[in-house]
Amino acid sequence: MIQRPHVLLSAAVSLDGYLDDASDTRLVLSNEEDWARVDGLRAASDAILVGANTIRADNPRLLVRSPELVAKRVAEGSPEQPVKVTLTRSGSLDPAAQFFTVGDAEKLVYAPPGVVTGVKATVVELSGLREVLADLHARGVRRLMVEGGGAVHTQFLTEGLVDELHLAVAPFFVGDPNAPRFVGPGAFPRGLTLVESTRLGDIAVLEYHATPEPSDVDIRHLREAIALAENCPPRTFRVGAVITAADGEVITTGFSGDGDPANHAEEAALAKLEPGDPRLAEATMYTSLEPCSSRTSHPRSCTQLILDAGIPRVVFAWREPSVFVDCVGAETLEAAGRRVIEVPALAADVRRANTHIPGVHL
Ligand SMILES: NC(=O)c1ccc[n+]([C@@H]2O[C@H](COP(=O)([O-])OP(=O)(O)OC[C@H]3O[C@@H](n4cnc5c(N)ncnc54)[C@H](OP(=O)(O)O)[C@@H]3O)[C@@H](O)[C@H]2O)c1
Ligand SMILES: [Zn+2]
């Protein structure tokens, strides 16, 4: 798995999904309030990326405008402005473009060898979005904002490299097939969840998060967790848990009833480690069942134990149906910034191990 920045893709579109019209002047798809919102997103980013065609068409400055937001960045120890990043294959970039000449942010141009000359920027001879993202990560970029245009959006989305999508929808149609579209044709991932919709004047802002996909390694460890539940004493809710370090090595395991009859699987696994084990800061918790968020037998829920242990990532198979208790483990972990991956494809295996519990059916 490549280490890459968190990617937020932001665009403004017409009702029929265009980024602009076909005229030489830029179509206004936003209003002041929406610009302020975009400014906030820029200020929260380490870098902003656009395609070379957007530089040629719009000549954007790609700066954080608000002096307050700039001051806040500086106070937090960030550079005044995010790094500006572009991609080109042709190398056709005007050295006088505002991307290069306005503001003293660091500038990066990713291009094939030898095609870019004469611009005031660091030229990195790389193509392929994954290589570009890995390089940005190596340069310290943890949050990347992608601001167009359509060709760039299409690649990021079809390659599954977008974590958040923010769309501002303007209340009119463009209706011109020669105008640039938000995205071109392609095989797009399906898993987007609408997390927010806001009205800014007559602009609708839609915010989506990508549903994270489990890797093959995740599936393997989750199956191990599910298999561990076979060790549970009879009559209990049968759950297994596996914790791995950053390199994928299993550092502890547990199952419900392990150690203490009242122990939950996650709790039993954590109890075998020293509190504050440094490996937990980059660990993944695999558990066959969504971590519980409230319980009567022990003071802390498994969700709370995971939060307290600092585990950043949780992979689970079965979301407990609300007939038992109203579990908000996944939501609580997500709200605290932890990555939560649900693998419903393996939920049937967990239910099968628990058909002795009233209310659990295959
Ligand atoms: N409404 C909005 O939110 C918004 C935001 C941004 C842009 N726009 C509009 O979008 C339009 C531009 O969109 P677009 O789709 O034509 O172009 P684009 O996505 O901005 O840029 C495409 C160009 O980027 C370079 N490129 C893309 N992927 C690359 C890769 N993997 N490796 C190397 N180079 C790569 C290539 O440059 P070369 O051609 O140099 O090889 C390619 O032609 C403009 O009309 C602009 O106004 C609107
Ligand atoms: Zn629990």
Question: What is the DSSP code string of 233-268?
Answer: PTTS---EEEEE-TTS-EEEEEETTSSSTT--HHHH
Instruction: Determine the pLDDT at residue 336.
Output: 86
Beta bridge partners of 243: 252, 285
Q: Which domains are present in the chain?
A: 6-210 (3.40.430.10), 216-352 (3.40.140.10)
The rounded Å distance from CA 176 to ligand 2 centre is 55
**Ligand 1 lined by 342 (C-beta under 6 Å):** no
Instruction: Determine the pLDDT at residue 321.
Output: 67
Instruction: Determine the pLDDT at residue 115.
Output: 95
Average pLDDT of adjacent 10-residue blocks, the chain of 362 residues: 86 98 93 97 98 96 98 97 97 97 96 95 92 96 96 95 96 96 90 90 95 89 97 88 96 96 95 95 96 86 96 93 75 88 93 86 76
Which numbered ligand comes closest to the C-alpha of 26?
1
Which numbered ligand comes closest to the C-alpha of 295?
2
Residue type, 352: R
Closest CA to 322 of 331, 313, 311: 331
The rounded Å distance from CA 191 to ligand 2 centre is 27
**Ligand 1 lined by 34 (C-beta under 6 Å):** no
Kindly report the CA angle at 133 between 248 and 119, in degrees rounded to 5?
155
- Within 10 angstroms of residue 201's Cβ, the number of other Cβ atoms is 11
CA distances to 95, 125, 215, 267, 270 from 241, rounded to whole Å, are 56, 44, 17, 9, 9
Instruction: Determine the pLDDT at residue 1.
Output: 52
What phi and psi, each to the nearest 5 degrees, are found at residue 93? -135, 135
**Ligand 1 lined by 52 (C-beta under 6 Å):** yes
Instruction: Determine the pLDDT at residue 268.
Output: 97
Q: Please name the helix (run of DSSP H) or strand (run of DSSP E) that holds residue 307, with its range, or none.
A: helix 302-309
Q: Please name the helix (run of DSSP H) or strand (run of DSSP E) that holds residue 54, with its range, or none.
A: helix 52-58
Distance, in Å, from the CA atom of 230 to the CA atom of 216, rounded to the nearest integer, reads 22
Instruction: Determine the pLDDT at residue 327.
Output: 84
User: Ligand 1: which residue has its CA nearest to atom 44?
Assistant: 54
